[in-house]
Amino acid sequence: MPTASVNAAPSVRTAGDYDPNWARVDLSVVPNVAVPAPGPKSKALHERASRIMKGYSSQVRLFPVVFESGKGVTLTDVDGNTYIDFSSGIYVTSLGHCHPKVSEAVARYAHTLMNCHDFTTPVKTALLEKLASVSMGDLTCMQFYSNGTAAVEAGLRICRAATGRHEFLSGFMDFHGKSYGAVSCARMDPTKGVVRAPGFHMVPRSYPYRPTFFKADGTEDVDALIGFMETYVREACVGPVAAVVLEPIQGWAGSVIPSEDYFPKLRAFCDRHGILLFADEVLTCMGRTGKMFCMEHWDVVPDVMTLGKGFGNGFPVTAVLASERFADSFAKISASTSYGGNPMACAAALASIDVIEQEGLLAHAAELGRFFEKRLAKMKAEHPIIGDVRNKGCLLGVELVKDRVSKEPFDEAGARVYQRAFGKGLAWIPAGHILRMSPPIIMEEDVAARGMDIIDEAIGDVERELGYR
């Protein structure tokens, strides 16, 4: 892989040294919810906005606070309350809000060159070469987009162009975005008038806490799961399958981490059938799980991979990467777009990768993950409504159940704990009965501990309210 000459590469990397303590938090003043939240200014603004804006996420519906600013691992609302951020926006600002190096890089290109379609620019060349150098295996052919859904859509079309096959398999409860192709390989509710496109099939996927296929001792039987997929492609598909499309760890489904042997066995299944493995790393990439790419945990190289969210650390930039074997497919699908790979986007992504490397954030996220693992285990031991806890690096999930034997999902408790903790100064993410957390990977352990204390307290409060204590 050639490297950009010093003259061709922009000066994003060397510019603007920043204070290494820029995101340090003084826990004597943070979090601070002096005005019960959502406060009066939040309520008034949200009411005005929601008269016009429709389709809010449950994150907002359950706690309609109005944010004014963010710095590092904290957010401040319009009533002056400050929160610890356990959401990174929505898995996006992994390096913290307004990381000086990323902000400086975007600002520079906002003043230099905003768009020139898909013409080559120095900053794009530098990003392409950087990403190719850190990518997995031979995933060094790529194209950039401005949201995860567009990257997934391009990935699906690349799989079809590369194989000449039409059908896709995806996993129960996966999420890949909201365009027609992306929703077709995700959980959908047919009672809401949504229709899956022809050729898209959902099959069970690994879920160790709630396995579809299990051994006599109750643990997940991955061989049986793969065996079912063998039967499915033989008996149920209409034509040959182009790809299996999966999130390495399911985000929206509740930080569901597969069994260790799932991806290695799935890779072998794909190879037996000439099926491509498409890993949608939009949510899990760029250090979120303690590795640059989540698939590295299982040492499995996919054929196609998508990146998003933490890739630009807040600036909308995403990517689809494919094996060099499928280089021709990009031209076949006419992969370019209006905004993909614009100079500001490339500068943001390049600065983000540099920050991850320079600040040693993969190791830090993994270390923080070990801290979270211990705290989660302690919480599970102390709270009867916790059925399961799990994390990889800074991607966490806590599954609330009415009863540990029946494992009946406890949605009411999930909503209450989310609201309780938010009111105590923790900005985070609900998912029905599963609590989800994705703190910025720059977070220091003392701040992470304070966030976990808030969740612990909130679960205790709700257990008392609901008669579990």
- Nearest approach in angstroms of CB 316 to ligand PLP is 7
- Nearest approach in angstroms of CB 117 to ligand PLP is 21
Q: Which residues, 93 to 122, sit near ligand PLP by CB under 6 A?
A: none
If binding is defined by CB under 6 A, does position 176 make contact with ligand PLP?
yes
Q: Quick one: which of 202, 256, 283, 333 contacts ligand PLP (CB under 6 A)? A: 283
For ligand PLP, the closer of residues 85 and 280 by Cβ is: 280
For ligand PLP, the closer of residues 175 and 269 by Cβ is: 175
If binding is defined by CB under 6 A, does position 288 make contact with ligand PLP?
no
Q: Count other Cβ atoms within 10 Å, centred on residue 119.
A: 10
- Nearest approach in angstroms of CB 177 to ligand PLP is 3
Q: Quick one: which of 77, 220, 280, 303 contacts ligand PLP (CB under 6 A)? A: 280
- Nearest approach in angstroms of CB 436 to ligand PLP is 11
If binding is defined by CB under 6 A, does position 153 make contact with ligand PLP?
no
If binding is defined by CB under 6 A, does position 181 make contact with ligand PLP?
no
Q: Quick one: which of 82, 121, 149, 184 contacts ligand PLP (CB under 6 A)? A: 149
Amino acid at 391: N
If binding is defined by CB under 6 A, does position 152 make contact with ligand PLP?
yes
Q: How many residues bind ligand PLP (CB under 6 A)?
A: 13
- Nearest approach in angstroms of CB 306 to ligand PLP is 7
For ligand PLP, the closer of residues 100 and 430 by Cβ is: 430
Binding mask 235-274 for ligand PLP (x = CB under 6 A): ------------x---x-----------------------
Closest CA to 314 of 88, 145, 85: 88
Which of the ranges 144-152, 224-232, 361-369, 451-459 carries the binding residues for ligand PLP, by CB under 6 A? 144-152
For ligand PLP, the closer of residues 126 and 156 by Cβ is: 156
For ligand PLP, the closer of residues 221 and 303 by Cβ is: 303
For ligand PLP, the closer of residues 121 and 284 by Cβ is: 284
For ligand PLP, the closer of residues 95 and 386 by Cβ is: 95
For ligand PLP, the closer of residues 152 and 376 by Cβ is: 152
Q: Which residues, 306 to 325, sit near ligand PLP by CB under 6 A?
A: 308
If binding is defined by CB under 6 A, does position 339 make contact with ligand PLP?
no
- Nearest approach in angstroms of CB 112 to ligand PLP is 25
Q: Return the HEC string of the chain.
A: CCCCCCCCCCCCCCCCCCCCCCCCCCCCCCCECCCCCCCHHHHHHHHHHHHHCCCCCHHHHCCCCCEEEEEECEEEECCCCEEEECCHHHHCCCCCECCHHHHHHHHHHHCCCCCECECCCHHHHHHHHHHHHHCCCCCCEEEEECCHHHHHHHHHHHHHHHHCCCEEEEECCCCCCCCHHHHHCCCCCHHHCCCCCCCEEEECCCCCCCCCCECCCCCECHHHHHHHHHHHHHHCCCCCEEEEEECCCECCCCCECCCCCHHHHHHHHHHHHCCEEEEEECCCCCCCCCCCCHHHHHCCCCCEEEECHHHCCCCCCEEEEECHHHHHHHHHCCCCCCCCCCHHHHHHHHHHHHHHHHCCHHHHHHHHHHHHHHHHHHHHHHCCCEEEEEEECCEEEEEEECCCCCCCECHHHHHHHHHHHHHCCEECEEECCEEEECCCCCCCHHHHHHHHHHHHHHHHHHHHHCCCC
- Nearest approach in angstroms of CB 218 to ligand PLP is 29
Contact 63/81 with Cβ under 8 angstroms? no
CA 440 from centre of chain: 12
- Nearest approach in angstroms of CB 250 to ligand PLP is 8
Q: Quick one: which of 282, 349, 421, 434 contacts ligand PLP (CB under 6 A)? A: 282
For ligand PLP, the closer of residues 149 and 352 by Cβ is: 149
> How would you list the strands of the sheet with 67-71, edge to edge?
67-71, 74-77, 82-85, 426-427
**Contacts with ligand PLP, residue ranges (CB under 6 A):** 147-149, 152, 175-177, 247, 251, 280, 282-283, 308
